[in-house]
Amino acid sequence: MNICVVALGKIGLPLAVQFADKGHKVIGADVNEKVVELVNAGTEPFPGEHDLDVKLKKAVDAGLLTATTDTAAAVAASEAVVVVVPLFVDAEGTPDFGWMDAATRAIAQGLKPGTLVSYETTLPVGTTRTRWAPMLEEGSGLTAGEDFHLVFSPERVLTGRVFADLRRYPKLVGGIDEASGARGVAFYEQVLDFDERTDLPRPNGVWDLGTAEASELAKLAETTYRDVNIGLANQFARFADKNDIDVKKVIEACNSQPYSHIHQPGIAVGGHCIPIYPRMYLWNDPEATVVRSAREANAAMPEYAVDLLAAAYGDLKGAAVLVLGAAYRGGVKETAFSGVFPTVEALKARGAVPYVSDPMYTDEELAAHGLTPHQGETVTAAILQADHAEYRELAASDLPDVKVLVDGRRTTDPARWEGVRRVVIGG
């Protein structure tokens, strides 16, 4: 097949490489000229994705992957179009469709009869049918479900392990009609491979959910579940703190039987997915009080971590505090909705002087994010925000003036912090 992937970001580019690795000819379309240049040179435009550098160069050298800024032309040359353009929401959860609208209009200009269009960007329920279908029809003069096929098939992967996740998790597909769904299933069966899994109710592979709406809800539901579960764990942790209980032991005990799957509490829930998609769900379902409460509980955790620091340290006014980790999670160079930002703001609100360090970021990169890099200044307190593997080896001798450490992820080794008051959430 000839395939167009629209947007060559941290999900789109690995997808394009995966399709090419299966022998299909792929054109990647992106509005960023620098990204297009790097891809055409066989150079990954962002670090950290396992095997992407090798697979990308192989695909480009084989002539199976090229990139362009001309989305309409790329679509016109393709039989299938996969869209992975970012969608943002504001603090109230209102979606900003600007980038996706622009991409969809460009796709419509190149759309020809018989093409499959698959949206993989997480969307509010109903968007594929009520927003993208009319927009594609208006721009192309074609009729969705008759002249071209349209499906929603959510990406379900984590950056850093995209290729492994593509094999491990079933690929969900939902069409605006039965024929679109069938075409979507046939497409993904040709571009993906799947691990055998005996734990699933049916064989791993491409699963047709029947409608675009069901597929849209599946992505919102699975990510919202995680946020709600973490919110519950955080509530348990705060109660445990008040009652001198180790919540980690409690959660391990609960999860020893098959009906309990309590997640781990922590200082923050970050990234492009878990803090965002519950808000998107709430945009569809504003009466979902459980979802709203969990989101509020999780958003309050950075402030709570600073409360724990103040309780153990005393007045934070003028105190130099080091925040360990700018990334939203360990091992990933990404600050999207990272807990570092509210943690720093909470420290400033108490009069503290916050510094930030992260093994994955240079001082210049931290400063570009509005953070003050730690450049050897004496600090007397620390808060661990990201669970980087490097922090497992961190010791009191590395920060000799620190009196209190709040480990927001239970990452540090207690034995290495003798003489320092080490506080954990739910501890």
Distance CA 372, CA 136 (A): 46
pLDDT at 47: 84
Return the SS3 of 351.
coil
Distance CA 237, CA 407 (A): 13
Return the SS3 of 338.
coil
Task: Name which of 137-141, 155-159, 224-228, 234-238 the model is least confident about.
Answer: 155-159
pLDDT at 296: 96
Closest CA to 374 of 388, 362, 391: 362
CA angle 404, 323, 270 (to 5 degrees): 125
pLDDT at 188: 98
Q: What is the pLDDT of residues 295-323, one digit of tens each?
A: 999 999 999 999 999 999 999 999 999 99
Share of the chain above pLDDT 70, in %: 100
> Cβ contacts of residue 362 below 8 Å, gap of 6+?
none
Distance CA 146, CA 419 (A): 72
pLDDT at 245: 98
Is the CB of residue 207 less than 8 Å from the CB of residue 243? no
Q: Give the chain's mean pLDDT.
A: 97
Q: Is the pLDDT of residue 156 over 90?
A: yes
Q: What is the pLDDT of residues 335-350, one digit of tens each?
A: 999 999 999 999 999 9
Q: How many distinct helices (H) and strands (E) make up the chain? A: 16, 15
Closest CA to 82 of 2, 6, 189: 6
What's the pTM value of the predicted model, to 2 decimals?
Answer: 0.91
Q: Other C-beta atoms within 10 Å of 258: how many?
A: 6
Distance CA 98, CA 86 (A): 9
Is the CB of residue 6 less than 8 Å from the CB of residue 15? no
Distance CA 128, CA 105 (A): 14
User: What is the residue whose two structure tokens read 């807990």?
Assistant: 339
pLDDT at 99: 96
Q: Is the pLDDT of residue 205 over 80?
A: yes
Is the CB of residue 212 less than 8 Å from the CB of residue 175? yes
Q: Which domains does the chain have, with CATH numbers?
A: 2-210 (3.40.50.720), 212-427 (3.40.50.720)
Closest CA to 357 of 369, 375, 339: 375
Helix or strand holding residue 68 (H, E): strand 65-68
Mean pLDDT of 5-29: 97
Query: How many CA within 13 A on the CB side of residue 350?
Result: 23
Q: Please report which confidence band the pLDDT of residue 93 belongs to, taking 50, 70 and 90 as the band edges.
A: confident
pLDDT at 89: 81
User: What is the residue whose two structure tokens read 């394009």?
Assistant: 16
E-state strands within 351-409: 353-357, 381-384, 404-407
